[in-house]
Amino acid sequence: MAEEEKVIEELTTEEALTDPLYVPEPVEGATEHVRSFPAAPQFQEKLGYPGERPENWQEVALAKMDELRGKFRSFRLFLDICVKCGACTDKCHYYMGTADPKNMPVARQDLLRSVYRRYFTLPGKWFPDLVGARELTEDVLDEWYTYYFQCSECRRCSVFCPYGIDTAEITMAAREILDSVGYGMKYTNEIIGKVFDIGNNLGLPKPALASTLEDLEEEIEDDTGVKVRLPLDEPADVLLVTPSADFFAEPHIDGLIGYAKVFHALGEKWTLSSYASEAANFAMFIGSYENMRRIALRIRKAAIDLGVKRIIIGECGHAWRAAYQFLNTLAGPFDFLDPKYPVPQHICEYTWEAIQAGKLRFNKEENDFYKVTFHDSCNVSRASRMGNYPGGQFDIPRNIIKAVCNHYYDMPEGTIKEATLCCGGGGGLLTDDLMEIRKKGGSPRMKALKQASEEYGVNKMAAICAICKTQFSKIMPYYGYGMDDIMSVHQLVSNAIVLPGSEQEAELDGTDENEATEAAE
Amino acid sequence: MITTLYALLYYAATIIFVVGIAYRVWGYWKTPQPANIVTTPAPVTRTGVVWRMFKEVAFFESLWKSNKWIWIFAMMFHLSLWLIIVRHLRYFIDPVWTVVVLAQPFGKYAGFFFVLGGLGLLFRRFVVARVRYISAPSDYLMILMFIGIGLSGLLMTFVNKTDIVAVKAFFRGLMTFNWQPLPADLPVLVHLGLVAVFLIVFPFSKLLHAPGVFFSPTRNMVDNPREKYRPVPWLPPVSEVTFDPPHGSKQS
Amino acid sequence: MAYEVNGKTVEHDEEGYITNLSDWSKELAEVIAKEENIDMTDEHWEVVNFLREYYDEYQIAPAIRVLVKAMKKKFGPEKGNNKYLYELFPYGPAKQACKIAGLPKPTGCV
């Protein structure tokens, strides 16, 4: 196939294979075949959407578009003000990785904007061809479904747009419109339903969660000789809400162990909640405030029921956005919590504060096998903050890593911090049926990592996002890395932390266990 | 005849321009922005946001980060446009303000840079495959309109000198409803015709980026969602919600 | 979308996970495994059986770590490790083994 050859040609030159920011020439239709499974009716209905496409679906879709135009200034404005300057066209990792022009941010927006123009603006009604307006047909709907699920809502384009147009806002609106005509995505919508039923994305019931946590307590005791607890549904000062992948997946689970050790070392009274056993909020991905709120309210209820003073969120990118930018708005005000602390806080803010106060002891040599780099997760970088100054979200995780590792190196400029490249699996794309787009979308990041490996010998990448971690553990093997070369930041903390009374402490201080325990007391 | 035509055209164009923009801006104003979706890192104070916005509209900070070529052409185009607009104020006010007098020599030559910037942007639209892909016919026409305005203006200024006093009299006449004849030179008619088109098209087109940028929530919001509670206007307050039933009550 | 086992059809979803968990049988597991290009050995069965037992108790598949631990207890560290499990089930012990074991696919960021 000619198209396929063109894609291969564009993406396999020496430069294309090594330059993380390489921009291919557009090849039309390059990824039009990549589509995820649509949601079955039972998954749709649980979220308040029709299970089947209604007879008058065009009317419904256009009415939804009009409704969203009245509810969200972002959507209304962004549809109007794009001047097609082209500044964003080379900024999307999916475009860089696939060469499909519909993956250029402005072109992705135009899939919807063209319909908006046709039905809601005079020029589009009078001169559709002149202004690139088009009817809402079945093909258009399919095209929306295809390409709005090739966007990870990472906001890289919004950094570079002179008007701050954020394609994520358009993508969310498009997905909400698709859902309103019964055309939802299986992966995201099935998962949201599970949160409503069971409390987390995994569908992990309380007994299973309790048993997993017990297992982890055992594991920590085996490793350190210290009884570190992972409390569940206990009255406490701190409620930790973390992505459920932290209870289940590799390398996430080592991050959870890291949080537990930090809490233990500080003597914190903390707890997990089985009711709010999920920090992720996939309803954000589909732009549904109603569903997003329903998930956010679980955190509110858990905080009230457990009588906590503060809420801390575990390592997860979009969850941190959902918490930082949306939790207060959707489930606030949180005036029943201790006003001394921001609501919510990130686990990295918590750990870094303790490190700064000198309350944690580390043996950095434990991480000496590793030459570490840090992958800035998109939602953390461009849709949130840590600490009290702009950019704290870049410094704090790096500071933590540097406090526990001797060898830290950044990936190249232009691929980190506010310009960070998405892992390729965010925004609800972390599903096997989208593996092709995940691999291709992840390629710019992988090339940046390779540069860091070649220059500094970097052999591990740390991240603070459940999606990033899973995505990388799947795609890194395609790029010559091991699936365990992606780590949690708190896994590095966990490796290096010296708990009072632990075997590690005894070894370091050259005393036997009993003496160390006495010293700690 | 031509005087009447242009007089009516300008009344109509002015009304469409002013009312149209007011209507669109009112739309942006009244539409809620429920959550704080500022693109971070973002300022944490109102003053900081003013500074960010200033850098954005005066220096195109984001565009600078993004693409130097577009930045150069866009900067050339917009800076010249401002100088030209200031200079043109002299045809509407009497006596002419000092600042307008000072701008006069710069404004005159800014026309060349205006056209050059426009040509640069047009060139990119043709030559860069990615930009060509996203361009509709209206995108080309829009730039051609500006280039046409610039070229006809330069022609009147430097080549086929127009009776500018008469043009001023025409516009002053329009403002005081005491019409004066418009010199019927071709460059004048083209220039004024295209400017009228510009005024009419403005509220219906991407030209709305000019007032619109100030409403952009990813740029104009203070990064304070944890400190400032912003309820979603169409959702009931938390005191009225029902929570999902306790965990484990339903298993799929 | 269905598997054929002993002249019986068993419905499955787009990704090959059976829709009605009670349709599972050892014969079906062999059929699914074949489609996944896996020859079922004793070790494979050990994993599948453990998953099913765990699922019976907890209504979910175990975390990989729990699975590894169980395998370690049974077969020692040589087979009780992540790498070995991936050798058994190249497409991930959780997802692929669940499919063969007739359990729902673990969802979320996993």
Per residue in A186-220, pLDDT (tens digit) is 999 999 999 999 999 999 999 999 999 999 999 99
User: In this complex, do A122 and B226 lie within 8 Å of one another by their Cβ atoms?
Assistant: no
pLDDT attached to residue B119 = 98
pLDDT attached to residue C80 = 86
Q: Is B201 left (phi over 0), alpha (psi -120 to 50) or beta?
A: alpha
Q: Annotated active-site positions of C, please?
A: 109
User: Distance between CA atoms of A107 and A111, rounded to whole angstroms?
Assistant: 6
Q: How many CB atoms lie within 10 A of CB A366?
A: 18
CA distance C109 to chain A (A): 5
How does pLDDT run across C2-25, given as a tens digit for each residue?
A: 999 988 999 999 999 999 999 999
How does pLDDT run across A294-336, given as a tens digit for each residue?
A: 999 999 999 999 999 999 999 999 999 999 999 999 999 999 9
User: Distance between CA atoms of B248 and C57, rounded to whole angstroms?
Assistant: 14
Q: Are strands C2-5 and C8-11 parallel, antiparallel or unpaired?
A: antiparallel
User: In this complex, do C107 and A280 lie within 8 Å of one another by their Cβ atoms?
Assistant: no
Query: How many CA atoms, within 13 angstroms, populate the side-chain half-sphere of residue A343?
Result: 28
Residue B95: cis peptide before it, omega within 30 degrees of 0: yes
Distance of alpha carbon B126 from the chain centroid: 23
- Counting as contact any 3 or more CB pairs under 8 A, the partners of A are B, C
Contact B114, B98 (CB under 8 A): no
Contact A334, A303 (CB under 8 A): yes
Q: Which residue in A37, A42, A191, A202 has the most chain C C-beta atoms within 10 A of its own C-beta, making it the best mutation to test that interface? A: A202
Confidence label for B247 from pLDDT (cuts 50, 70 and 90): low
Encoded tokens for A123? 């020029």
User: In this complex, do A160 and B133 lie within 8 Å of one another by their Cβ atoms?
Assistant: no
User: In this complex, do B247 and A162 lie within 8 Å of one another by their Cβ atoms?
Assistant: no
Contact B166, B182 (CB under 8 A): yes
Strand partners, A461: A373, A486
Residue A500: cis peptide before it, omega within 30 degrees of 0: no
Q: Say whether residue C83 is in contact with chain A using an 8 A CB cutoff.
A: no
User: In this complex, do A466 and C109 lie within 8 Å of one another by their Cβ atoms?
Assistant: yes
pLDDT at A494 over 90: yes
Residues of chain A contacting B67 with CB distance shorter than 8 Å: 86-87, 90, 160
CA distance B138 to chain A (A): 5
Report residue A488: phi and psi, to 5°. Answer: -80, 145
Encoded tokens for A214? 């017990």
Distance of alpha carbon A441 from the chain centroid: 15
Q: Nearest residue on chain A to B71, judged by CA atoms?
A: A87
Unique residue bearing structure tokens 């005191």: B239
Residues of chain C contacting A37 with CB distance shorter than 8 Å: 14-15
Cβ neighbors of B191 (< 8 A, separation 6 or more) are B149, B152, B153, B155, B156
Q: Say whether residue B104 is in contact with chain A using an 8 A CB cutoff.
A: no
Q: Is the dihedral of CA A46, A40, C95, A33 positive or negative?
A: negative
User: In this complex, do C107 and A212 lie within 8 Å of one another by their Cβ atoms?
Assistant: no
How does pLDDT run across B142-183, given as a tens digit for each residue?
A: 999 999 999 999 999 999 889 999 999 999 999 999 999 999
Is C110 among the domain residues?
no
Selected residues 83-112 of chain A with any CB under 8 Å from a CB in chain B: 83-91, 101, 104, 106-107, 110
**Among candidates A224, A306, A299, which has minimal Cα distance to A257?**
A224
Encoded tokens for C93? 């012990």
DSSP string, B36-105: --PPSS--SSHHHHHHHHHHHHHH-HHHHHH-HHHHHHHHHHHHHHHHHHHHHGGGT-SSPPHHHHHHHH
CA distance A355 to chain B (A): 23
Q: Which amino acid is at B16?
A: I
Selected residues 53-82 of chain B with any CB under 8 Å from a CB in chain A: 56, 60, 62-63, 65-67, 70, 74
Confidence label for B249 from pLDDT (cuts 50, 70 and 90): very low
Unique residue bearing structure tokens 């055209």: B9
Of A207, A430, A433, the CB nearest to C109: A430
Distances (CA, A) of B203 to A504, B20, B25, B37, B137: 69, 5, 9, 26, 18
Cβ neighbors of A121 (< 8 A, separation 6 or more) are A131, A133, B204
Contact A106, A84 (CB under 8 A): yes
How does pLDDT run across A157-172, given as a tens digit for each residue?
A: 999 999 999 999 999 9
User: Distance between CA atoms of A177 and A73, rounded to whole angstroms?
Assistant: 17
- Counting as contact any 3 or more CB pairs under 8 A, the partners of C are A
Q: Say whether residue C40 is in contact with chain A using an 8 A CB cutoff.
A: no
pLDDT attached to residue A514 = 55
Distances (CA, A) of A176 to A116, A180, A419: 15, 6, 27
**Among candidates A163, A170, A172, which has minimal Cα distance to A113?**
A170
User: Distance between CA atoms of A36 and A110, rounded to whole angstroms?
Assistant: 21
Is C105 among the domain residues?
no
Encoded tokens for B52? 């960010």
Q: Is A343 left (phi over 0), alpha (psi -120 to 50) or beta?
A: beta
User: In this complex, do A289 and B34 lie within 8 Å of one another by their Cβ atoms?
Assistant: yes
User: In this complex, do A316 and C60 lie within 8 Å of one another by their Cβ atoms?
Assistant: no
Distances (CA, A) of A458 to A38, A368, A373, A408: 39, 12, 7, 8
Distances (CA, A) of A143 to A102, A153, B55, B220: 10, 17, 37, 32
CA distance A20 to chain C (A): 25
pLDDT at B23 over 80: yes
Residue B206, classed as helix, strand or coil, is helix
How does pLDDT run across B105-154, given as a tens digit for each residue?
A: 999 999 999 999 999 999 999 999 999 999 999 999 999 999 999 999 99
Q: Nearest residue on chain A to B135, judged by CA atoms?
A: A84
User: In this complex, do A123 and B215 lie within 8 Å of one another by their Cβ atoms?
Assistant: no
* Percent helix, percent strand, percent coil in chain C, to nearest 5: 50, 10, 40
User: Distance between CA atoms of B168 and B180, rounded to whole angstroms?
Assistant: 9
Q: Nearest residue on chain A to B40, judged by CA atoms?
A: A382
Q: Nearest residue on chain A to B65, judged by CA atoms?
A: A160
Is C109 among the domain residues?
no
CB neighbour class for A267 (10 Å; exposed up to 12, middle 13-18, buried from 19): exposed
CA distance A207 to chain C (A): 7
CB neighbour class for A283 (10 Å; exposed up to 12, middle 13-18, buried from 19): buried
User: In this complex, do B229 and A343 lie within 8 Å of one another by their Cβ atoms?
Assistant: no
Q: Say whether residue C11 is in contact with chain A using an 8 A CB cutoff.
A: no
> What value does the mean pLDDT take over residues B200-226?
97
How does pLDDT run across A113-154, given as a tens digit for each residue?
A: 999 999 999 999 999 999 999 999 999 999 999 999 999 999
Query: How many CA atoms, within 13 angstroms, populate the side-chain half-sphere of residue B37?
Result: 27
Q: Which domain holds residue C32?
A: 2-100
Cβ neighbors of A417 (< 8 A, separation 6 or more) are A376, A381, A391, A394
Of A158, A165, A390, the CB nearest to B43: A390
Q: Say whether residue A185 is in contact with chain C using an 8 A CB cutoff.
A: no
User: In this complex, do C14 and A37 lie within 8 Å of one another by their Cβ atoms?
Assistant: yes
> What value does the mean pLDDT take over residues A434-463?
98
Residues of chain C contacting A433 with CB distance shorter than 8 Å: 14-15
The count of CB pairs under 8 A between chains A and C is 79
Cβ neighbors of C84 (< 8 A, separation 6 or more) are C71, C78
Percent of chain A with pLDDT over 90: 95
User: In this complex, do A202 and C108 lie within 8 Å of one another by their Cβ atoms?
Assistant: yes
Cβ neighbors of A109 (< 8 A, separation 6 or more) are A78, A79, A82, A165, A167, A170
User: Distance between CA atoms of A303 and A300, rounded to whole angstroms?
Assistant: 5
Cβ neighbors of A249 (< 8 A, separation 6 or more) are A466, A469, A470, A473, C63, C64, C109, C110
Cβ neighbors of B61 (< 8 A, separation 6 or more) are B52, B55
Residues of chain C contacting A205 with CB distance shorter than 8 Å: 58-60
The full 3-state SS of B120-188, as one line of letters, equals HHHHHHHHCHHHHHCCCHHHHHHHHHHHHHHHHHHHHHHHCCCCHHHHHHHHHHHHCCCCCCCCCCHHH
Strand partners, B208: none
pLDDT at B50 over 60: yes
Of A205, A215, A245, the CB nearest to C110: A245
Report residue A249: phi and psi, to 5°. Answer: -100, 165
CA distance C80 to chain A (A): 15
Q: How many domains does chain C have?
A: 1
Encoded tokens for B78? 């917009």
Q: Say whether residue A6 is in contact with chain B using an 8 A CB cutoff.
A: no
pLDDT attached to residue A5 = 84
Confidence label for A513 from pLDDT (cuts 50, 70 and 90): low
Selected residues 125-144 of chain A with any CB under 8 Å from a CB in chain B: 127, 129-132
> What value does the mean pLDDT take over residues A90-104?
98
* Percent helix, percent strand, percent coil in chain A, to nearest 5: 55, 5, 40
How does pLDDT run across B71-97, given as a tens digit for each residue?
A: 999 999 999 999 999 999 999 998 999
pLDDT attached to residue C82 = 86
Q: Which residue in C11, C109, C110 has the most chain A C-beta atoms within 10 A of its own C-beta, making it the best mutation to test that interface? A: C109
Query: How many CA atoms, within 13 angstroms, populate the side-chain half-sphere of residue A170?
Result: 30
User: In this complex, do A384 and B40 lie within 8 Å of one another by their Cβ atoms?
Assistant: yes
DSSP secondary structure code for residue A162 in this structure: T
How does pLDDT run across C58-90, given as a tens digit for each residue?
A: 999 999 899 998 888 888 888 888 888 999 999
Unique residue bearing structure tokens 């300022």: B43
**Among candidates B41, B27, B98, B2, which has minimal Cα distance to A155?**
B41
CA distance C51 to chain A (A): 13
CA distance A130 to chain C (A): 42
Q: At the fourth CATH level, which superfamily is domain B2-240?
A: Transmembrane di-heme cytochromes, Chain C (1.20.950.20)
